[in-house]
């Protein structure tokens, strides 16, 4: 169940949970100039469906992690769909905002905070790496895993093991983890300076939320989805051998 209270001012929800801003933007809710309105009022003013907004907030905020379903018992298709809809969508939205925000903050405050120039470089590298990585998951690996889910379907993937793309993705995850550690150091553990302006704070908040979300995102892939793919492929190879045929691998 959503833990977000619709009678709380929308501006406060945005301040407490910066990731909610992406949801507010998507539903066209006014959270800045009219931030004193409750979430319920804001939805009414914008003709947005409150239940839909609450659902989206639950999916988009790590605060809802406790109410998340048990993904270990989901099919690979369900989990891949969920990862694309939530974590991949959130990462893309975050990078779209960071691509504007980080250079702006670095240009304005780089003289007083020279580490911002390093931050700008690391975030640009992270953005390029993660956007490319998600395209490869969306276009190659996840469709492959969905095919492995359909037991009746003849295997139409390349003549090598699904472990190969999985190993590549896990290697990328390690690199992403390293870049987030650099970002954490460069932002003083995601703590803006006391006198930081709103843009500086928004940037640090976004980076912190993206890091948290990426932890959950990678956990679901490395620890749930990918092992399920390896098991499904092994089971399929076993079934093929059982029919006196050779496995393609």
Give the footprint of Fe ion on this chain (CB under 5 A): 137, 169, 221
Minimum CB separation of residue 216 from Fe ion in Å reads: 11
**Closer to Fe ion by Cβ: residue 209 or 221:** 221
Cβ-based burial of 50 (10 A; exposed 0-12, middle 13-18, buried ≥19) = middle
* Rounded (10°) CA dihedral 103, 25, 45, 56: -150
In the bound complex, what is the minimum distance in angstroms from residue 173's beta carbon to Fe ion? 6
Give CA separation, 138 vs 81, 85, 166, 197, 209, in Å.
9, 11, 13, 37, 22
User: Nearest approach, Cβ of 191 to Fe ion (angstroms)?
Assistant: 28
**Cα Rg of the chain (Å, integer):** 21
Element (H, E) at 234: helix 226-242
Residues 6+ apart with CB under 8 A from 126: 176, 179, 180, 183
Task: CB nearer to Fe ion: give 55 or 92.
Answer: 92
Min. distance of Cβ 135 from Fe ion in angstroms?
Answer: 10
């Amino acid at each position: 169940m959503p833990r977000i209270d619709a009678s709380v001012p929308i501006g406060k929800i945005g301040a407490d949970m910066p990731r909610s801003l992406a949801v507010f933007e998507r539903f066209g809710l006014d959270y800045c100039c009219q931030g004193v309105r409750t979430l319920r009022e804001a939805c009414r003013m914008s003709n947005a469906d409150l239940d839909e907004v609450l659902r989206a907030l639950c999916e988009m905020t790590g605060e809802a992690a406790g109410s998340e379903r048990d993904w270990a018992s989901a099919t690979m298709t369900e989990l891949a769909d969920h990862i694309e809809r939530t974590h991949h969508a959130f990462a893309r939205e975050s990078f779209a905002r960071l691509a504007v925000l980080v250079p702006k903050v670095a240009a304005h405050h780089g003289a007083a905070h020279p580490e911002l120039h390093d931050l700008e470089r690391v975030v640009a590298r992270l953005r390029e790496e993660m956007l490319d990585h998600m395209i490869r998951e969306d276009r190659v690996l996840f469709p492959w895993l969905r095919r492995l889910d359909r037991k009746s379907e003849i295997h139409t993937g390349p003549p090598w093991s699904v472990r190969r793309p999985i190993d590549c993705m896990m290697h990328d995850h390690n690199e992403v983890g390293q870049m987030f550690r650099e970002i954490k150091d460069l932002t003083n553990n995601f703590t803006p300076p006391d006198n930081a302006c709103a843009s500086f704070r928004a940037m640090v908040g976004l980076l912190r939320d993206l890091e948290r979300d990426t932890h959950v995102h990678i956990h679901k892939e490395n620890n749930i989805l990918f092992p399920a793919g390896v098991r499904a492929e092994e089971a399929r190879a076993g079934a093929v051998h059982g029919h006196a045929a050779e496995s393609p691998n």
